[in-house]
């Protein structure tokens, strides 16, 4: 694609990177075949190719974002299926993130949009606030019909009927082992440790059983993904910088073999810290953290898990952030097969479930359509349960099916001597 940025514009590292990405695009349109929003809406501007044209025009002209461009960029899930499909290697993730930051800087959204986005940015990354907000949402559910905005109603609908008690394992501490093989830091997530504490508990049990010392670092918090994908760069970089410092303290102290991440949405962002901080004094440390970051299944694949024969039929949902963002496709399935589970996959395994961070709250209609499609194809495989590697996907899919939805690591923990996941026990599996 031909671009016309001026030399002055290209002095901006963000514009320089956008120019590189735009020039790689050859307009082939192969991305439209795997774009979830294009599949649902059928609008060229709701495909990666269409959004690329809108972003190019906006950035080249150096003009404030208009409502039309904002609408179509906001509808993007950042599922990154287009990056897997693209034969030219267009790094759409960096381009759309640049566009979102530009929109945040130049466009004044309607008041209700600004309020909702600010509330989400100030609540979800903070577990204490998030837990309180979910409790309040349950109290507000009887008044759902009175809510003036569809997104407020979606927020009430997503509040779970019950929340687990906070796990003591999520506090900063070290889980030592007698004959240490490796030492890792565990990113505990922000929303995850409110919505489902069993995931981190299972991860710690499994890793320590395999001789891996696990540290939950002091000073670690939200990875910054939520605010990053809203274009709120200052908040996202502040969260990321705190994590970089926390992980580097551990790496420079007793050393780290990996930073283990069991929420794939977080993993995609942490692995991109090196790019996010490429022009920052933290650049070297950020690159070290990105290099150490591993999805939990990616790390487990380097260890020898004992074989088992669990004998259950599992529909595996490949989270977009794992299969497209991190290019991890085989490790989770291979680990589950090694534990004796029968693995089946839905026909649309490459398509998003519609969760996508806060997408199911900000774009509830499109999200609901994607969820309905995903649940239907998962149930069509006739599984006894569904496994996934991302809490957002688990909550999204779980709200549309009666099948138990568990994290991959919970099944691996159970197969190697840990307790049966509560969701399976409740279904008599």
Where do the structural domains in the chain lie, given as residue ranges? 9-106, 111-158, 168-300, 313-426
Res. 159 pLDDT band, cuts 50 70 90: confident
Percent of all residues in the chain with a pLDDT value above 90, rounded to a whole number: 89
Average pLDDT of span 314-338: 97
Alpha carbons 386 and 400: distance in angstroms, whole number: 12
pLDDT of residue 180: 94
pLDDT of residue 161: 79
pLDDT of residue 178: 92
CATH architecture of the domain covering 9-106: Orthogonal Bundle (1.10)
pLDDT of residue 173: 97
Report residue 342 as tokens. Answer: 């029968």
Closest C-alpha to 208, from 260, 249, 251, 243:
260
Tell me which of 350 and 159 has the higher pLDDT. Answer: 350
Alpha carbons 420 and 222: distance in angstroms, whole number: 29
pLDDT of residue 142: 76
pLDDT of residue 149: 77
Q: pLDDT tens, 60-106?
A: 999 999 999 999 999 999 999 999 999 999 999 999 999 999 999 99
Tell me which of 143 and 194 has the higher pLDDT. Answer: 194
Average pLDDT of span 279-308: 96
Q: What is the DSSP string of 226-241?
A: HHHTTT-HHHHHHHHH
As a whole number, the mean pLDDT across the chain is 94
Average pLDDT of span 394-415: 96
SS (H, E, C) 131-192: HHHHHHHHHHHHHHHHCCCHHHHHHHHHCCCCCCCCCHHHCCEEECCCCCCEEEEEECCCCH
Alpha carbons 74 and 70: distance in angstroms, whole number: 6
Q: How far is CA 258 from the centre of its chain?
A: 19
Q: pLDDT tens, 134-154?
A: 888 877 777 777 777 778 887
Which of 110-124, 157-171, 175-189 is the least confident region? 157-171
pLDDT of residue 145: 73
pLDDT of residue 160: 82
pLDDT of residue 30: 92
The H or E element that residue 260 is part of is strand 258-261
Tell whether domain 168-300 is in CATH 1.10.510: no
Q: pLDDT tens, 296-305?
A: 999 999 998 9
Alpha carbons 255 and 53: distance in angstroms, whole number: 46
Res. 157 pLDDT band, cuts 50 70 90: confident
Would 9-106 and 313-426 be classified into the same CATH topology?
Answer: no
Q: At what angle do helices 48-61 and 13-24 cross, to 10 degrees?
A: 140
Edge-to-edge strand ranges of the sheet holding 313-316: 342-344, 313-316, 385-388, 405-407
Is a pLDDT exceeding 90 seen at residue 48? yes
Closest C-alpha to 246, from 190, 286, 298:
286
Q: 313-426 sits in which CATH class? A: alpha beta
């Amino acid at each position: 694609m031909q671009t016309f940025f001026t030399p002055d514009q290209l002095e901006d590292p963000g514009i320089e990177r956008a120019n590189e990405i735009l020039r790689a695009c050859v307009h082939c349109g192969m991305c439209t075949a795997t774009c979830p929003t294009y599949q649902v809406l059928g609008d060229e501007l709701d495909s990666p190719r269409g959004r690329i044209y809108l972003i190019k025009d906006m950035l080249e002209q150096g003009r404030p974002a208009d409502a039309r461009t904002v609408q179509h960029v906001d509808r993007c899930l950042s599922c990154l299926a287009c990056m897997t499909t693209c034969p030219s290697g267009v790094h759409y993730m960096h381009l759309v993130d640049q566009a979102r930051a530009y929109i945040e800087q130049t466009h004044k959204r309607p008041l209700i949009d600004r309020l909702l986005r600010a509330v989400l940015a100030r609540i979800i990354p903070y577990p204490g606030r998030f837990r309180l907000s979910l409790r309040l949402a349950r109290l507000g559910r009887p008044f759902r019909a009175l809510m003036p905005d569809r997104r407020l109603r979606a927020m009430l609908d997503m509040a779970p009927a019950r929340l687990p008690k906070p796990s003591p394992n999520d506090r900063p501490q070290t889980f030592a082992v007698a004959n240490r093989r490796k030492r890792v830091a565990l990113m505990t997530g922000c929303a995850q440790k409110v919505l489902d504490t069993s995931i981190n508990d299972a991860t710690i049990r499994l890793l320590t059983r395999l001789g891996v010392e696990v540290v939950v670092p002091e000073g670690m918090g939200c990875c910054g993904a939520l605010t990053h994908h809203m274009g709120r760069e200052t908040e996202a970089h502040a969260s990321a910088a705190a994590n970089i410092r926390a992980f580097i303290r551990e790496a420079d102290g007793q050393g780290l073999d990996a930073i283990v991440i069991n929420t794939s949405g977080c993993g995609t962002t942490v692995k991109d810290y090196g790019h996010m901080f490429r022009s920052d004094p933290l650049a070297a440390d950020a690159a070290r953290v990105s290099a150490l970051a591993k999805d939990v299944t990616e790390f487990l694949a380097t260890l020898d898990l004992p074989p088992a024969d669990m004998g259950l039929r599992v529909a595996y949902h490949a989270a977009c952030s794992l299969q497209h963002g991190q290019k991890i496709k085989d490790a989770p399935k291979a680990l589950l097969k090694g534990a004796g589970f029968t693995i089946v996959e839905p026909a649309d395994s490459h398509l998003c479930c519609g969760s996508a961070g806060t997408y199911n709250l900000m774009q509830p209609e499109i999200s609901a359509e994607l969820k309905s499609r995903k649940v239907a194809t998962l149930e069509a495989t006739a599984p006894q349960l569904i496994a996934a590697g991302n809490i957002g996907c688990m909550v999204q899919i779980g709200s549309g099916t009666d099948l138990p939805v568990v994290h991959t690591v919970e099944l691996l923990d159970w197969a190697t001597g840990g307790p049966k996941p509560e969701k399976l026990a409740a279904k008599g599996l």
